[in-house]
């Protein structure tokens, strides 16, 4: 087929070898949209033979499903009626019908002010796009791995690295991805709140609120209002409508600690909230829907309480969707050095004192103690040691640890009293009384598995006084 194409008609043979050497596709089109030349790279790119393209309309390779529309766009460009850039990403249509991404650059062919057509240079972006996509996927994979590593480093820092606690780490990572209700069990002081925080922070609700409620610290007369809220005038003193903990946690997570302290009636109301995912404020009949993650915790054996008809079986099984049981500190003593270093670092920062260290003797004493109060007791011992010690903490600074070696602080005092130049008896007696009181409270809490109401009755203390003392011990 003979094609008329102005000034290039006698020149095209000279450039064929040059054009066919270029890896980019070259396409020359006349002003009517007819293909008059393509190089080898263009043919290979589009899956056509040269003779299948030359003499045919440009619409054969345009990505538009409507060829007429594609040609109209071309005429707008060739007639300079569209302010179109000279470099553009687009798509070509392969001979097999599949579209593929290309980068097109073009310019007009003008002979003596007469527009003859257009030349386009086309780069196949398929491999580049594929590489970018793979790179993006690799980056996303790296980010996921970094997030996993950061989570695990956080859990190791907060909880330890023993095999027993690593099993807990794994469960946290698994359940955090879901919206399952979680029941955390374990002795008092084992770190149930830390687990709840980790589950929330690793979940897709991390940017929303985590509301914590200590069910054992709120009087029975106030617990319903605290959990579900009330409307104005619902009872004496309700001067305005108030949202409860569940409403505040909407779109986020609520953590119900010491859930075994809820009364039978409150357990029934909580069961309905878990089932229906809605609450009704006191004084209202209007239910309010919730999107919420529920985490509960108990240091008591709930199965035993169910058998004793002290805890509802239907509520227990609602909470039992996913259980995490925390091991006591005495069963994972390899975590004690790591936790002790963390508590010491935090204590020195809070007390605004230079960073301190443990000597080998103090670490041995810490490892030898029974830790009936678990991680909470360890934290208190370290905080106290950070106050009374010098630059290095020795076993003499660990006031609850000397009993491991059957040597009380009083016996030590009697042995070394002659070495003192002065001695503050009132301060010493006050300190000893405080330590004895703390030890008795912790031991009684252990006896009643963290139940503050039973502990208060046993010690003949009112609940508020006990709550204040426990809070002081834990601070």
**Token reading at 66:** 């409507």
What pLDDT score was predicted for residue 306?
Answer: 94
Burial 303-320, CB ≥16 within 10 A → b, else e: eebbeeeebbeebbebbe
What pLDDT score was predicted for residue 66?
Answer: 59
Give Cα separations from 67 to 72, 93, 238 (angstroms): 9, 12, 72
Q: Are 156 and 342 in contact (CB under 8 A)?
A: no
What pLDDT score was predicted for residue 116?
Answer: 81
Give Cα separations from 369 to 161, 275, 407, 456 (angstroms): 19, 44, 13, 26
Helix axes 360-368, 336-351, angle to 10 degrees: 120
Q: Are 381 and 363 in contact (CB under 8 A)?
A: no
Look up the CATH number of domain 160-327.
Answer: 3.40.50.300
Residue 255 in 3-state DSSP? strand
Q: 330-474 sits in which CATH class?
A: mainly alpha
Q: Are 68 and 92 in contact (CB under 8 A)?
A: no
Give Cα separations from 94 to 35, 45, 125 (angstroms): 16, 8, 13
Of the candidates 319, 201, 215, the one whose C-alpha atom is nearest the C-alpha of residue 253 is 201
What pLDDT score was predicted for residue 82?
Answer: 47
Question: Residue 401: in which H helix or E strand, if any?
Answer: none
**Residue 357 bridge partners (DSSP):** 392
pLDDT digits (tens, 9 = 90+) for 355-388: 999 999 899 989 988 888 899 999 989 988 888 8
pLDDT digits (tens, 9 = 90+) for 285-298: 999 999 999 999 99
Of the candidates 102, 88, 302, the one whose C-alpha atom is nearest the C-alpha of residue 183 is 302
Long-range CB pairs of 383-387, under 8 A, 24+ apart, other chains included: 383/343, 383/347, 385/344, 386/344, 386/347, 386/348, 386/351, 386/353, 386/356, 387/347, 387/351
**Token reading at 412:** 């030590």
Q: Which CATH number fits domain 6-124: 1.20.1200.10, 3.40.30.10, 3.30.450.20, 3.40.50.2300?
A: 3.30.450.20
Question: Residue 26: in which H helix or E strand, if any?
Answer: strand 25-30
Burial 141-172, CB ≥16 within 10 A → b, else e: eeeeeeeeeebbeebbebbbebeebbebbebb
Residue 217 in 3-state DSSP? coil
**Token reading at 336:** 């004690």
Cβ neighbours, 10 Å, residue 436: 10
Longest Cα separation, the chain: 121
The residue ranges of the chain whose pLDDT is under 70 are 1-14, 63-70, 78-85, 143-145, 148-149, 400-421, 423, 428, 474-475
The domain locations on the chain are: 6-124, 160-327, 330-474
Cβ neighbours, 10 Å, residue 86: 10
Of the candidates 427, 450, 364, the one whose C-alpha atom is nearest the C-alpha of residue 401 is 364
Q: CA-CA distance, 63 to 104, in Å (whole number)?
A: 13
Q: Are 182 and 326 in contact (CB under 8 A)?
A: no
């Amino acid at each position: 087929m003979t094609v008329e194409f102005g000034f290039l008609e006698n020149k095209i043979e000279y450039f064929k070898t040059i054009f066919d050497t270029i890896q980019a596709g070259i396409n020359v089109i006349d002003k009517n949209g007819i293909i008059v030349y393509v190089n080898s790279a263009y043919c290979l790119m589009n899956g056509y033979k040269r003779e299948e393209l030359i003499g045919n309309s440009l619409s054969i390779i345009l990505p538009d499903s409507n060829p007429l529309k594609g040609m109209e766009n071309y005429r707008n460009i060739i007639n300079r009626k569209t302010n179109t850039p000279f470099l553009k990403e687009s798509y070509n249509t392969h001979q097999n019908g599949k579209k593929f991404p290309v980068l097109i650059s073009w310019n007009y062919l003008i002979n003596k002010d007469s527009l003859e057509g257009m030349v386009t240079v086309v780069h196949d972006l398929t491999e580049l796009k594929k590489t970018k996509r793979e790179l993006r996927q690799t980056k996303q994979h790296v980010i996921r791995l970094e997030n996993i590593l950061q989570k695990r480093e956080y859990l190791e820092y907060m909880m330890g690295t023993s095999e027993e606690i690593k099993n807990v780490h794994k469960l946290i990572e698994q359940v955090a991805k879901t919206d399952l209700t979680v029941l955390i069990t374990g002795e008092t002081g084992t770190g149930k709140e830390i687990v709840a925080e980790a589950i929330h922070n690793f979940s897709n609700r991390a940017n929303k609120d985590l509301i914590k409620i200590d069910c054992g610290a709120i009087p029975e007369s106030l617990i319903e209002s605290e959990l579900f809220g009330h409307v104005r005038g619902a009872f004496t003193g309700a001067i305005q409508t108030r949202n409860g903990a569940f409403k505040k946690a909407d779109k986020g997570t609520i953590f119900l600690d010491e859930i075994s302290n809820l009364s039978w009636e409150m357990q029934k109301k909580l069961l309905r909230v878990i089932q229906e995912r809605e609450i009704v404020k006191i004084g209202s009949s209007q239910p309010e829907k919730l999107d919420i993650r529920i985490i509960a915790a108990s240091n008591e054996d709930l199965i035993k309480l169910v058998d004793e008809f002290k805890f509802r079986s239907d509520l227990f099984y609602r909470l039992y969707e996913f259980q995490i049981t925390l091991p006591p500190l005495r069963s994972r003593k390899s975590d004690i050095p790591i936790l002790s270093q963390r508590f010491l670092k935090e204590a020195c920062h809070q007390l605004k004192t230079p960073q301190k260290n443990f000597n080998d003797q103090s670490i041995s004493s810490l490892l030898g103690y029974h830790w009936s109060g678990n991680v909470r007791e360890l934290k208190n011992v370290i905080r106290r040691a950070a106050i009374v010690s010098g630059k290095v903490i020795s076993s003499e600074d660990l006031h609850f640890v000397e009993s491991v070696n059957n040597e009380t602080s009083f016996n030590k005092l009697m042995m070394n009293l002659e070495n003192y130049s002065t001695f503050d008896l009132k301060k010493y007696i006050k300190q000893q009384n405080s330590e004895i009181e703390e030890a008795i409270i912790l031991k009684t809490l252990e006896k009643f598995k963290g139940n503050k109401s039973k502990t208060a009755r046993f010690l003949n203390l009112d609940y508020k006084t006990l709550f204040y003392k426990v809070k002081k011990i834990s601070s």
